[in-house]
Amino acid sequence: MGRFHLLPRDEAFIPLFVRAAENVAAGASVLFELMQRFEHVERAASRMEELEHIGDQLTHQISDAQSRAFVTPFDREDIGALAAALDDVIDDAEEAVRRLATYRIQSSTELGVALSRVLHEQCRHIAQALPLLDRASQSASLRGHLVELHRLENEADELLNQALGALYTGVQDVPQLIGAIQWGDIYSLLERATDRAEQVAVVLERVLVKRG
């Protein structure tokens, strides 16, 4: 017996969303590995730029498929919102790595590693959640991933508060001040990326509610 699909659909959509989620997870992995080892920053920035371009291409493909499709797997507004949310995650992750290179940052920080870890975990849940979107028997598993996305975003908020609270502690000269400002910028980008990842969960929850 073939697999039962709860959602009527154009076959193009779900594979495209799965690829977009995998691309987001790949970007988060590059970022997390860079923050842990802090080697070959320029190489990581180049790789992130490639992944960001792939994300743009997938977003365009989803938009094109939407314009051609008579039947879509869920509401068209939610298709657009999900594609945009996934694209936003990779955009912010790529920008964070780019600024590490632009600012010529020489080493990571404990909070930089922690925030990139949270994003990495979120993107892993996104990549695992998207293939379950049209499988009725996996709704509980899908919801479990969404719960984790929200929990991790709350963790990122707490980490950012810690980071900003201690950012200027011990700053005694201009170079240290510049470094603190630069890291504040990077921390904010990383936290914003976790917000974008949570937005993926918000859209998926809306799809599930409409599905009933």
Q: What is the pLDDT of residue 10?
A: 54
DSSP-derived 3-state class of residue 135:
coil
pTM: 0.90
With pLDDT > 70 as the criterion, what percentage of the chain qualifies?
93
pLDDT (tens digit per residue) in 41-59: 999 999 999 999 999 999 9
Alpha-carbon distance of 128 to 205, in angstroms, equals 15
* Cα distance from N-terminal residue to C-terminal residue, the chain: 25
Write down the CATH number for the domain with range 13-162+172-211. 1.20.58.220
Domain ranges of the chain: 13-162+172-211
Q: What is the pLDDT of residue 122?
A: 98
